[in-house]
């Protein structure tokens, strides 16, 4: 099993949770039509999640049924070398973006070539190779992302070079676009910083990422680390606005208990995540500068009984912009998430769940934004349907 996981991870390219090893599940074609599968050239999945959500925010209660996820996924492998993968969201805008000509709804459309057991290359639209275990999880399984990951635009066109020098160790160099639309679509036609400096399109708006995925002690301890930089816009004088991101993820993986701790930091000369820009209510086309975001999070899964799983997650995050003389901004947010999950069928990736999500936001410098609390209870199901 460990060898299969490692081989599949390398073939699919590092982002194993985001879609690599899929478990020994029975497909609908096998169960309904009695079709025996003889090739890995075509695998078809539907990632579906839905729930009833009761939310308390600002002293108001609201409840509704909501589709959490609806993604079509097709992937396969031909021989020892060629792989491909398509993942497309069926409940998101389908129009092609102005720069990449991919729709935002298309998460992944990549083709990979594995030269040998040590080297591989991938190209197309893909999930960027950032580290951290929250970032790596299949989005269907996330009840609530951290603020940073939730505001990232990380499905972008590019190329990735993978090197696995020894079993259990993988290094990736990933070069991709910084954003999927043209500069005017991303920032506006008269984009400026808060201090009034004009923003111009960079000649090469690219992201450069170096990623290391390590596995130790027979897969019991794992790491997902990455560092990278985005080129976002050209400064009015010389040079470009950049941001530098660091992801450090550590995971303990035991047969019935899994636990990870992630640290994420983003130093942004121009507010890429735009949490600060949006919350300060700046005029459209005006962007904050010199912003620092940090996230500390931890999550565990405990299979305390057959067919049952208990999940707990805690987050602490900060957003800070206090170098600009025009304003000072500092926000802290905390999050507590828990769920009880029931898996009725061992040969299907189906779970019913009851979950709680709580978020608290506090602003210690700006008096313009009051503190807020959001609480949500969800009752629903997730089903990664293996169609073929």
DSSP per position, 104-116: TTEEEEEEEEE-S
CATH value of 2-386 in 3.40.50.970, 2.40.160.10, 3.40.720.10, 2.170.120.12:
2.40.160.10
Strand, coil or helix: 5: helix
Please choose, from the candidates 47, 142, 138, the residue with its C-alpha nearest in 3D space to the C-alpha of residue 90: 47
For 310-344, give the DSSP string.
Answer: EEEEEEEEEEEE-SSTT--EEEEEEEEEEEEEE--
The neighbouring-strand residues paired with 13 are none
Which position has the token pair 């111009």? 200
pLDDT per residue as tens digits for the range 108-123? 999 999 999 999 999 9
If phi > 0 it is left, if psi is from -120 to 50 it is alpha, else beta; for residue 58 that is left
Q: Which helix (H) or strand (E) holds 185?
A: helix 183-187
Secondary structure of 64-86 in HEC code, one letter for each residue: EEEEEEEEEEEEEEECCCEEEEE
Sequence-distant (6+) residues with CB within 8 A of 217 are none
Q: With a cut of 50, list the residues of the chain below it in pLDDT.
A: 1-14, 19-20
State how far the alpha carbon of 232 is from the alpha carbons of 140, 183, 238, 245, in Å: 29, 9, 14, 13
**Cβ density class 192-204: b for 16+ within 10 Å, e for less:** bbbeeeebeebee
- C-alpha 303/C-alpha 309 separation (Å) is 4
CA distance 350 to 26: 12
E strands along 217-328, which residues?
A: 221-234, 240-253, 257-270, 286-287, 289-305, 308-321
Report DSSP state, residue 182. -
pLDDT of residue 1: 31
Query: With b meaning 16 or more CB within 10 Å and e meaning fewer, what string describes 74-100?
Result: bbebeeeeebbbbbbbeeeeeeebebb
Kindly report the backbone phi and psi dihedral angles of residue 327, in degrees, each rounded to the nearest multiple of 5, phi listed first: -160, 165
Q: Is 63 helix (H, G, I), strand (E, B) or coil?
A: strand
Rounded to the nearest integer, the mean pLDDT of the chain is 88
Q: Measure the CA–CA gap between 76 and 56, rounded to whole angstroms.
A: 43
Strand partners of residue 352: 342, 381
At residue 139, the 3 state secondary structure works out as helix
Report the SS3 class of residue 32: helix
- Which pTM was predicted? 0.90
**Cβ neighbours, 10 Å, residue 180:** 23
């Amino acid at each position: 099993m460990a060898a299969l996981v490692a081989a599949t991870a390398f073939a699919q390219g590092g982002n194993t949770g985001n879609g690599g090893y899929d478990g020994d599940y029975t497909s609908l074609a096998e169960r309904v039509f009695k079709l025996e599968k003889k090739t890995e050239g075509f695998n078809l999945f539907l990632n579906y999640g839905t729930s009833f959500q009761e939310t308390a925010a600002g002293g108001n209660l609201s409840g509704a049924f909501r589709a959490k996820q609806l993604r079509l996924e097709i992937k396969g492998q031909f021989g020892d070398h060629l792989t491909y993968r398509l993942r497309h969201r069926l409940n998101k805008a389908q129009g092609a973006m102005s720069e990449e000509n991919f729709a935002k709804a298309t998460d992944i459309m990549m083709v990979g070539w594995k030269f040998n057991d040590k080297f591989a290359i991938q190209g197309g639209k893909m999930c960027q190779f950032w580290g951290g275990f929250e970032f790596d999880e299949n989005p269907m399984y996330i009840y609530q992302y951290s603020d940073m990951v939730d505001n990232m635009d990380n499905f972008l066109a590019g190329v990735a070079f993978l090197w696995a020098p020894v079993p259990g160790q993988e290094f990736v160099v990933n070069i991709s676009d910084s954003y999927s639309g043209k500069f005017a679509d991303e920032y506006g036609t008269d984009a400026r910083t808060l201090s009034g400096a004009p923003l111009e399109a960079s000649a090469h708006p690219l992201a450069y990422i170096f990623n290391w995925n390590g596995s130790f002690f027979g897969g019991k301890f794992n790491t997902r680390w990455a560092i990278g930089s985005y080129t976002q816009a050209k400064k009015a004088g010389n040079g470009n606005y950049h941001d530098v991101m660091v992801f450090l993820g550590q995971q303990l993986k035991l047969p019935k208990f899994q636990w990870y701790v992630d640290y994420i930091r983003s130093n942004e000369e121009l507010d890429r995540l735009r949490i600060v820009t949006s919350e300060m209510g700046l005029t459209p086309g005006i962007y904050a500068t010199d912003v620092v975001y940090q996230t500390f999070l931890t999550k565990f899964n405990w299979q305390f009984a057959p067919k049952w799983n208990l999940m707990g997650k805690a987050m602490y995050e900060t957003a800070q912009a206090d170098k600009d003389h025009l304003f000072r901004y500092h926000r802290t947010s905390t999050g507590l998430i828990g769920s009880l999950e029931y898996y009725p069928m061992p040969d299907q990736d189906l779970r019913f769940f009851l979950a709680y999500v709580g978020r608290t936001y506090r602003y210690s410098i700006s008096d313009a934004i009051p503190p807020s609390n959001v609480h949500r209870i969800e009752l629903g199901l997730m089903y990664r349907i293996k169609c073929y």
